[in-house]
């Protein structure tokens, strides 16, 4: 469970000559076992909010309460060290979060598809291989709460299909909170939603209501598909999970 209790955050704006209020007394409860998609336009404060939830930055006022093991931001380097190999980074990250390092390494090595690069320095990875390693590692770890800023899945097309199924498996047993400016991401992954606008957060019970509110504020991109009532079915995973 995640509880936001009157959370506020300001940043100094040198251009405007005064502080900018990014989050204004946000209060919300994200129930365990639910996937929550937070919609907001560019510059709305989504990254600030998800970093506050992760605990990587503090609020200026209010509290963020978390129950359970919270992930680093999915798809980011998190605790990775550029000079260490992929294998060393996965081992190190698994130990930090109290997971079975051998089991996590076995899963990542089997399913990331990076081959011999697993034993090369992380700094030498191509963008695709970095993405493969980061997403596989994050979802290989047994978190109670997964957090993602814009990118719930990543990597080249074939890997992304598998990554979607992996996310679906994790959603069945954990909480996922992600931010995005793309309504279709909520349609694919979320159970409930919220809209971050003008430093305030409004929560909605249904994904449809969330998207309608977002579009009514004219925040959506022009290339978004029309809203319909179809729901994506969760595919069965083709591989065992740790």
CATH architecture of residue range(s) 2-216: 3-Layer(aba) Sandwich (3.40)
- Contact predicate 148/5, CB 8 Å: no
Model confidence at 236: pLDDT above 90: no
Model confidence at 237: pLDDT above 60: no
Which residue's entry shows tokens 């963020």? 64
What are the residue boundaries of the structural domains of the chain, listed by start?
2-216
Residues 44-88: tens digit of each pLDDT: 999 999 999 999 999 999 999 999 999 999 999 889 999 999 999
Tokens of 242: 């740790």
- Report d(CA 59, CA 89) in Å as an integer: 30
Predicted local confidence at residue 48, as pLDDT: 95
Select from 240, 227, 214, 233 the least CA-distant residue to 39: 214
Angle between helices 127-140 and 101-111 (to 10 degrees): 140
Residues 161-184: tens digit of each pLDDT: 999 999 999 999 999 999 999 999
């Amino acid at each position: 469970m995640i509880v936001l209790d009157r959370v506020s955050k300001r940043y100094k704006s040198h251009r405007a000559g005064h502080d900018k209020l990014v989050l204004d007394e946000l209060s919300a409860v994200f129930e365990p076992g639910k996937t929550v998609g937070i919609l907001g336009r560019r510059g709305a404060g989504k990254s600030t909010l998800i970093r506050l939830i992760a605990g990587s930055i503090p609020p200026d006022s209010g509290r963020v309460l978390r129950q359970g093991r919270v992930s680093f931001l999915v798809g980011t380097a998190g605790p990775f060290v550029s000079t260490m190999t992929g294998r060393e980074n996965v081992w190190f990250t698994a130990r930090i979060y109290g997971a079975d390092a051998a089991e996590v390494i076995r899963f990542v090595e089997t399913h990331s598809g990076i081959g011999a690069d697993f034993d090369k320095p992380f700094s030498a990875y191509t963008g695709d291989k970095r993405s493969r390693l980061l997403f596989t590692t994050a979802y290989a770890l047994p978190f109670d709460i997964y957090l993602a800023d814009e990118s719930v899945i990543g990597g080249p097309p074939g890997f992304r299909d598998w990554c979607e199924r992996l996310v679906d498996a994790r959603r069945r047993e954990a909480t996922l909170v992600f931010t995005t400016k793309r309504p279709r991401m909520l349609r694919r992954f979320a159970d409930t939603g919220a809209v971050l606008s003008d430093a305030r957060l409004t929560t909605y019970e249904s994904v449809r209501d969330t998207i309608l509110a977002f579009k009514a504020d004219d925040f959506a991109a022009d290339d978004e598909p029309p809203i319909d009532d179809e729901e994506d079915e969760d595919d069965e995973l083709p591989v065992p999970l740790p």
